[in-house]
A = this chain, B = another copy of it.
Amino acid sequence: MKKILIIEDQATMRRNLALMLQMEGFDTATAENGRAGIEKAREQQPDLVLCDVMMPELDGYAVLRALREDEAFANTPFIFLTARTDRTDVRTGMNFGADDYLAKPVVRDDLLAAVHARLARAEMLQQRFAESSGFNPDFSRPDLLQHAHGLTPRESEVLVWVAQGKSNADVAAILGMSDKTVKHHLGVCFQKMGVESRNAASLVALETLSGHRRL
């Protein structure tokens, strides 16, 4: 279940927002000013933040800036709420780095649609991040090893298979060469890469093969 943090100084407004979100199946947390909001965010790790602009203690802009400086909230959607709805006000909020801007009084459908849209967007990024963040070396690019460590094409081919846990005999069979040749190539690899074991070489190779992903 997604958790939403509501930072809003008016008690009735806070309750209404929380209620609307809870009826939609969201988990909610609330804070009545900026300072409390930042604390609540840190302890509750919400998936989305709804924040009023004008508040005592710390205003919405300050809250946004504080959260964006925190690694943990870099990807957390942040939606401003405010009664002031003139163009310059909206622009100020968005230019601060907010993800959306809702005008009070908040219409139920607008709120839910905005929340869902922002959560969907964040989730999409999160998913792509998870896919690429783990362990996925590109074993189809021996050329990466070649350029990274000054290996010859054949040497790097041998190495990509070794990095996949193959034995010398396996590699020999796969590449259609003698195991002696595999040994020779590997020996050269060790020298060029400055390592002394097949395991260390494997580790370095995996690191090289993993370092080239794009968002």
Q: How far is the CB of A146 from chain B (nearest CB, A)?
A: 18
A125 touches B165 (CB 8 A): no
A117 touches B94 (CB 8 A): yes
In the complex, whether A66 has a CB less than 8 A from a CB of chain B is: no
Interface bracket on A: 35 or more
- For A203, list chain B residues within 8 Å (CB): 163-165, 202, 206
* Copies, count: 2
Is the contact region of chain A dominated by helix, strand, or loop, or is it mixed? Answer: helix
- For A130, list chain B residues within 8 Å (CB): 213, 215
Task: List residues of chain A with CB under 8 Å of any chain B CB.
Answer: 68, 71, 74-75, 87, 91, 94-97, 99-100, 103, 110, 113-114, 116-117, 120-121, 124-126, 128-130, 132-135, 137, 162-167, 195, 197-200, 202-203, 206-207, 210-211, 213, 215
